[in-house]
Amino acid sequence: MEKDTEHTEHHAAAPAFSRRDIVILAGVAASAGVTAAILFGRPPAAARLDSGAFLGLLADPASAAKLGEIWFAESKPGETLAVYEARLARRLRAHGWSPAAAPELAHRALAASVRADYLGDRMVAIEKWHLSETEADLCALAALVMRDAAHGA
């Protein structure tokens, strides 16, 4: 069996990191994140996602919110609005959506994400409903937005 000299030479030329180097790099990265959070508090308006855009994808946001509240009570998936906004944005972006996209593209991306969840067996049971993870996240987002609206009114 012949030894791969090119592979060996490549690894020999790569710099070695010690455990101390890795700990220092991790500390620098963590402090940079904390500093940004302290200085900026919230992301700039252009970088934030509008929950209303996601709720606009629903035919009946109030019913979706009820399912979201049931999911919170049954499964305790977490109740942070920003988490659901980020998850939905990531999922829809994977199917060609962007915040500036036309509503038709948002609906197509949502449908594609739901299909991908079903094909990948990424399902959530809420009472007797079996929803894709994307649908469940959208229900959770609706529940949190409705809560905020009720507290603000």
CA–CA separation, 66 vs 143, rounded Å? 7
Ordered per-residue pLDDT tens for the chain, 153 residues:
455 555 445 445 545 555 554 544 444 444 444 333 333 343 333 334 578 888 888 889 999 999 999 999 998 888 899 999 999 999 999 999 998 888 889 999 999 999 999 999 999 999 888 999 999 999 999 999 999 888 775
On whether residue 62 sits in a domain, the answer given is yes
On whether residue 102 sits in a domain, the answer given is yes
Let me know whether 93 and 132 are in one domain.
yes
Q: Which phi and psi angles does 129 have, rounded to 5°?
A: -90, 140
Residue 88 confidence (pLDDT): 94
Let me know whether 89 and 114 are in one domain.
yes
CA–CA separation, 139 vs 128, rounded Å? 15
Let me know whether 86 and 138 are in one domain.
yes
On whether residue 45 sits in a domain, the answer given is no
Let me know whether 11 and 77 are in one domain.
no
pTM equals 0.65
CA–CA separation, 35 vs 38, rounded Å? 5
Domain around 140: 51-152
Residue 100 confidence (pLDDT): 86
Let me know whether 138 and 79 are in one domain.
yes
Hey, is 61 helix, strand or coil? helix
